[in-house]
Structure formats: C-alpha cells, structure tokens
Amino acid sequence: MIELTEDQVQAVALCRTGPVQVVNPRTREVFVLIRKEIYDLTSRIVSAPNQRGWDSPADDDLI
C-alpha cells in the first residue's frame, strides 16, 4: 500500500468533481483513485453475473 504525502492528501481533497486521476510520469499511464468502498461495490457488481453462472458458453448465441 502507498501512503499519500500531505500535499497529495490536499490535492485529493480538492477533487470534488469525480475520481482523482494520477499520472505515472515515467510511462504516462493514467490511474484513477477511488475510495475502497466504491471499489469493493463495483467489484461485487462486476463479478456477480459470473458467480451465478451467466457466463456459460452455451449462452453465446443469446448475446
């Protein structure tokens, strides 16, 4: 886990319009920071259909 510096904490607090985007200066990759509760919720939503067996190859013709 990476701990934010005080300057980063202040910058995150100023971003009230949506998730915070951060850039890796070496690779120029953009990452989005979201609260863990939001990540957990979205992970459950995304993985839920697979847990119910909806990802069956037999259903490919229905998609």
Q: What is the pLDDT of residues 20-62, one digit of tens each?
A: 899 999 999 999 998 899 999 988 888 765 555 556 777 777 7
Q: Is residue 61 part of a domain?
A: no
Q: Is residue 17 part of a domain?
A: yes
Q: Is residue 60 part of a domain?
A: no
Pairing type for strands 20-23 and 30-33 reads antiparallel
Q: What is the pLDDT of residue 9?
A: 92
Dihedral of CA 25/28/31/48: which sign? negative
Tally of domains within the chain: 1
Q: Is residue 40 part of a domain?
A: yes
Segments forming the whole domain that contains residue 30: 6-50
Q: Is residue 55 part of a domain?
A: no
What are the backbone dihedrals phi and psi of residue 32, each rounded to the nearest 5 degrees, phi first? -115, 125
Greater confidence (36 vs 16) lies with 36
Q: Classify 16 as helix, strand or coil.
A: coil
Q: Is residue 59 part of a domain?
A: no
Q: Is residue 46 part of a domain?
A: yes
Chain position carrying tokens 């850039």: 23
